[in-house]
């Protein structure tokens, strides 16, 4: 599942005043271009993914959250929130 329709329309991460690591920004953008964020979302949506695993994925994503570009956040975070909410609700219904 490819979340982003046009690859040229998205910037996943950008340098900020407090973090000018071009290497980190480049790696986050390459990860996004390789559909890494989509794959994380797919893992979260899998029925057999535990809440603990979801916690670690969200923790990992949040570590570089201040570097994410607004265009990426506007698309991805809503999908991520919905997937996590569905996972939590499914776990509490059991």
**Is 64 part of a structural domain of the chain?**
yes
Task: Give the span between the Cα atoms of 37 and 24, in whole angstroms.
Answer: 15
Tokens of 28: 């986050």
**Is 1 part of a structural domain of the chain?**
no
**Is 19 part of a structural domain of the chain?**
no
Task: Give the span between the Cα atoms of 88 and 61, in whole angstroms.
Answer: 18
71: containing domain: 35-94
Task: Give the span between the Cα atoms of 25 and 8, in whole angstroms.
Answer: 16
**Is 4 part of a structural domain of the chain?**
no
The mean of the pLDDT values for the chain is 88
State the burial class of residue 24 (Cβ atoms within 10 Å of its Cβ: 0-12, 13-18, 19+): middle
Total number of domains constituting the chain: 1
**Is 68 part of a structural domain of the chain?**
yes
Mean pLDDT over 69-93 rounds to 91
What pLDDT, in 10s, does the model give residues 20-46? 788 999 999 999 999 999 999 999 999
pTM: 0.82
């Amino acid at each position: 599942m490819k979340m982003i329709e046009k690859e040229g329309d998205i910037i996943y991460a950008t340098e900020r005043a407090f973090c000018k690591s071009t290497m980190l920004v480049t790696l986050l953008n390459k990860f996004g271009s390789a559909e890494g964020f989509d794959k994380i979302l797919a893992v979260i949506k899998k029925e057999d993914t535990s809440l603990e695993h979801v916690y670690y994925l969200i923790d990992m994503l949040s570590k570089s959250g201040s570097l994410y570009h607004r265009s990426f956040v506007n698309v991805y975070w809503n999908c991520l929130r919905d997937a996590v909410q569905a996972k939590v609700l499914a776990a509490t219904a059991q």
